[in-house]
Amino acid sequence: MLVQGRGRHHPWQEAKGTAMATTTFTPHLPGGTWTLGDSTVTRFGYGAMQLAGPWVMGPPADHDNALAVLREVVGLGITHIDTSDAYGPRITNELIREALHPYPESLFIATKVGATRDAQGGWPTARRPEDLREQVHENLDSLGVGTLDLVNMRMGDAQGPQPGSIAEAFETLADLQRDGLIRHLGVSNVTAEQVAEARGIAPVVCVQNMYNLAHRHDDALVDHLATEGIAYVPFFPLGGFTPLQSDALSRVASRLKATPMSVALAWLMQRSPNILLIPGTSSTAHLRENIAGAGLSLSDQDVAELDGIGH
């Protein structure tokens, strides 16, 4: 059963242009805000994937803690949550719904399609038009909304972006957007060529690729998107399942009397104004630490040392 979502005017559906970018200061969270289509979100967001069980399968070990983390996210003023119906599967979306529905008007929930889960916890791709329609409806249902704020079309595989056309998949999502089921579109795990191809089909408000201090393959893409007013949303900002570790990171962190995770987030925040952070955590203590950490001010010397990690 679908629960009706928030009714809003949909000017972006006519707009063929790109997202308008603004960064303003908000006193509560580092980095201010960014405008995705018609919505303003905090640049410091939250990635919900780690709320599911081990390897993103099954329920969390502590259900009440997962709900508490989500309520803390919103309570601290974060307005951008990243999720997927494939997390759990369904578990993460259902936790978000249980913790936060009816959603505050300011909350922007981004989800993604393009993969499902198998019994072994694998992530088989599912990108035929019928697969994508089914995944969009599953996200609507599990989140309890009539319209999804943002759907990322996830391409590539576990090794990263792979060449190939995104056209058929993205056209399917553009059709669903025209039908009013999706407000904004993004792309994930993509090449620069796929971003350009998608933008020829419908407006793209964000690109979500793997990027962090140690994985800088997208440096040129980040800068290009900044000039186009398109958000870049790095996944695995802290290294994901393999936490970032490096001597330079530890050295800078110890000089600033901060944790390496804090410095990694501050570096992303300072890297480019179009970068939106979605660090994942299942801990309210880490959530607070990450907010404080992302607001650290890195000197030119700090940045120069850290830049050496990814090159």
Query: What are the residue numbers of the active site?
Result: 87
Q: Which of these ranges, 59-67, 176-184, 217-225, 285-293, lies near ligand NAP under the rule CB under 6 A?
A: 285-293
Decide: 255 and 297 in contact? Cβ < 8 Å.
no
276 binds ligand NAP (CB under 6 A): no
Binders of ligand NAP in range 141-180 (CB under 6 A):
154
Torsion of Cα atoms, 139 then 144 then 145 then 146, to 10°: 90
Decide: 241 and 56 in contact? Cβ < 8 Å.
no
From 36, 280, 294, 306, residue interacting with ligand NAP (rule: CB under 6 A): 280
Find all residues with CB under 8 Å of 1, minimum gap 6, and list them: 141
44 binds ligand NAP (CB under 6 A): no
Burial label for 223, CB within 10 Å (0-12, 13-18, 19+), is middle
- Taking the complex as a whole, the smallest distance from the CB of residue 194 to ligand NAP amounts, in Å, to 13
Residue 13 or 115: which CB sits closer to ligand NAP?
Answer: 115
Helix pair angle (129-143, 91-100), 10° resolution: 30
- Taking the complex as a whole, the smallest distance from the CB of residue 116 to ligand NAP amounts, in Å, to 13
135 binds ligand NAP (CB under 6 A): no
Residue 13 or 31: which CB sits closer to ligand NAP?
Answer: 31
Q: Which of these ranges, 20-28, 57-65, 175-183, 276-284, lies near ligand NAP under the rule CB under 6 A?
A: 276-284
Residue 97 or 112: which CB sits closer to ligand NAP?
Answer: 112
From 31, 89, 203, 279, residue interacting with ligand NAP (rule: CB under 6 A): 279
- Taking the complex as a whole, the smallest distance from the CB of residue 73 to ligand NAP amounts, in Å, to 11
Residue 115 or 140: which CB sits closer to ligand NAP?
Answer: 115
How many Cα atoms sit within 13 Å of 296 on the Cβ side?
Answer: 26
Give the separation between CA 226 and CA 213, rounded to whole angstroms: 18
Q: Is the dihedral of CA 50, 52, 54, 60 positive or negative?
A: positive
Give the separation between CA 278 and CA 293, rounded to whole angstroms: 13
101-120 footprint of ligand NAP as x/- string (CB under 6 A) = -----------x--------
200-219 footprint of ligand NAP as x/- string (CB under 6 A) = --------x-----------
- Taking the complex as a whole, the smallest distance from the CB of residue 189 to ligand NAP amounts, in Å, to 5
- Please provide the DSSP assignment of 132-191 as one string: HHHHHHHHHHHHT-SSEEEEEEE-SBTTB---S--HHHHHHHHHHHHTTSEEEEEEES--
**E runs forming strands in the chain:** 33-36, 39-42, 46-47, 80-82, 108-113, 148-154, 182-188, 206-208, 231-232
Binders of ligand NAP in range 226-265 (CB under 6 A):
235-240, 243, 261
How many Cα atoms sit within 13 Å of 92 on the Cβ side?
Answer: 29
Q: Residues binding ligand NAP: what is the number (CB under 6 A)? A: 27
Give the separation between CA 22 and CA 40, rounded to whole angstroms: 9
Q: Is the dihedral of CA 56, 139, 278, 5 positive or negative?
A: negative
89 binds ligand NAP (CB under 6 A): no
286 binds ligand NAP (CB under 6 A): yes
Residue 50 or 177: which CB sits closer to ligand NAP?
Answer: 50
From 68, 289, 292, 303, residue interacting with ligand NAP (rule: CB under 6 A): 289
Residues that bind ligand NAP (CB under 6 A): 47-50, 82, 112, 154, 188-189, 208, 235-240, 243, 261, 278-283, 286, 289-290
